[in-house]
Amino acid sequence: MNAASHQTDLKPHATGTDTPVVQSGAEVLLRVLGEQGVEVIFGYPGGAVLPIYDALFRQNTIRHVLVRHEQAAVHAAEAYARSTGRVGVVLVTSGPGATNTVTGLLDAMLDSIPVVCFSGQVGVPLIGTDAFQEADTTGITRPATKYNYLVRRADEIAPSVHEAFHIARSGRPGPVLVDLPKNLMVGPAPYVAPARAPHPSYQPQTEPGRDAISRAVAAMKGARRPLFYTGGGIINAGPEASAALRRLVEKTGFPCTSTLMGLGSMPAGDRRFLGMLGMHGTYEANMATHGCDVLIALGSRFDDRVTGRLDAFSPTSFKIHADIDPSQINKIVPVDVGIVGDARRVIEMMLEEWDCTPANTRQPIDMAQWWHQINEWRARDSLGFVQDMAPDAIIRPQYAIRRLHELATATGRDTYVSTEVGQHQMWAAQHFGFDKPNRWLTSGGLGTMGYGLPAAVGAQVAHPDALVIDIAGEASTLMNIQELSTIAQYRLPVKVFILNNQYMGMVRQWQELLHESRYSESYSAALPDFVKLAESFHGRGLRATCMGELDGVIAEMLAHPGPVVADICVAQDENCYPMIPSGAAHNQMILGPGQDDEISAEGRMLV
Partner 1 sequence: MTTQQESPVSAVIAIQVENESGALARVIGLFSGRGYNIESLTVAPVDETRRQSRINIVTTATPHVLEQIRAQVARLVPVYRVSVMTGQDPHVAREMALVKVIASGERRADALRIAQAFRAHPVDASATSFVFELTGATDKLDAFIDLMRPLGLAEVSRTGVAAIARGAAIL
* Residues engaged in binding partner 1 (CB under 8 A): 138-139, 142-143, 146-148, 150, 152, 167, 172, 199-202, 310-311, 325-327, 329-331, 333-334
Catalytic choice (23, 27, 70, 348): 70
Least Cβ distance, residue 156 to partner 1 (angstroms): 11
SS3 call for 254: coil
Nearest C-alpha neighbor of 484 from the set 413, 559, 386, 563: 563
CB-nearer residue toward partner 1: 115 or 481: 115
Q: Is 203 marked active-site?
A: no
Between the alpha carbon of residue 99 and those of residues 102, 196, 559, 606, the distances in Å are 5, 33, 39, 29
| Residues 408 and 471 sit within 8 Å (Cβ to Cβ) | no
CB-nearer residue toward partner 1: 172 or 246: 172
Q: Write phi, then psi, for 167 (nearest 5 degrees).
A: -70, -40
| Residues 227 and 295 sit within 8 Å (Cβ to Cβ) | yes
User: What amino acid occupies position 463?
Assistant: H
Q: Is 37 exposed, middle or buried (0-12, 13-18, 19+ CB in 10 A)?
A: exposed
Least Cβ distance, residue 37 to partner 1 (angstroms): 22
- How far apart CA 515 and CA 265 sit, in angstroms, is 37
Least Cβ distance, residue 583 to partner 1 (angstroms): 15
Strand residue runs (E) in 11-100: 23-24, 40-43, 63-66, 88-92
Least Cβ distance, residue 144 to partner 1 (angstroms): 10
CB-nearer residue toward partner 1: 38 or 151: 151
- How far apart CA 329 and CA 344 sit, in angstroms, is 17
Q: Is 156 marked active-site?
A: no
Least Cβ distance, residue 103 to partner 1 (angstroms): 17
Least Cβ distance, residue 204 to partner 1 (angstroms): 8
CB-nearer residue toward partner 1: 148 or 477: 148
Between the alpha carbon of residue 377 and those of residues 120, 221, 293, 408, 432, the distances in Å are 55, 24, 17, 29, 21
CB-nearer residue toward partner 1: 17 or 201: 201
Least Cβ distance, residue 135 to partner 1 (angstroms): 15
Strand partners, 552: none
Between the alpha carbon of residue 405 and those of residues 145, 281, 399, 457, the distances in Å are 35, 19, 10, 20
Least Cβ distance, residue 263 to partner 1 (angstroms): 26
Q: Is 182 marked active-site?
A: yes
Catalytic choice (132, 207, 363, 535): 132
Q: Is 596 exposed, middle or buried (0-12, 13-18, 19+ CB in 10 A)?
A: middle
| Residues 420 and 451 sit within 8 Å (Cβ to Cβ) | yes
CB-nearer residue toward partner 1: 167 or 237: 167
Catalytic choice (349, 426, 506, 589): 506
Q: Write phi, then psi, for 268 (nearest 5 degrees).
A: -60, -30
Q: Is 207 marked active-site?
A: no
CB-nearer residue toward partner 1: 122 or 441: 122
Least Cβ distance, residue 326 to partner 1 (angstroms): 5
CB atoms within 10 A of CB 321: 28
Least Cβ distance, residue 288 to partner 1 (angstroms): 22
Catalytic choice (1, 133, 502, 512): 133
CB-nearer residue toward partner 1: 142 or 532: 142
Intra-chain end-to-end CA distance of the chain, in Å: 49
Strand partners, 338: 321
Between the alpha carbon of residue 225 and those of residues 64, 212, 248, 563, the distances in Å are 52, 21, 16, 48
Where on the phi/psi map is residue 175: left (φ > 0), alpha (ψ -120 to 50), or beta? beta
**What sign has the CA pseudo-torsion 258, 173, 239, 297?**
negative
Least Cβ distance, residue 606 to partner 1 (angstroms): 16
SS3 call for 149: strand
Catalytic choice (36, 134, 165, 182): 182
**Per-residue DSSP letters for 366-418?**
HHHHHHHHHHHHHTT-TT------STTSPBPHHHHHHHHHHHHHHTT--EEEE
User: What amino acid occupies position 299?
Assistant: G
CB-nearer residue toward partner 1: 196 or 372: 196
Q: Is 132 marked active-site?
A: yes
CB-nearer residue toward partner 1: 170 or 419: 170
| Residues 471 and 273 sit within 8 Å (Cβ to Cβ) | no
CB-nearer residue toward partner 1: 255 or 308: 308
SS3 call for 41: strand
Strand residue runs (E) in 435-584: 440-441, 467-473, 495-500, 540-544, 564-569
Catalytic annotation, residues: 70, 132-133, 182, 506
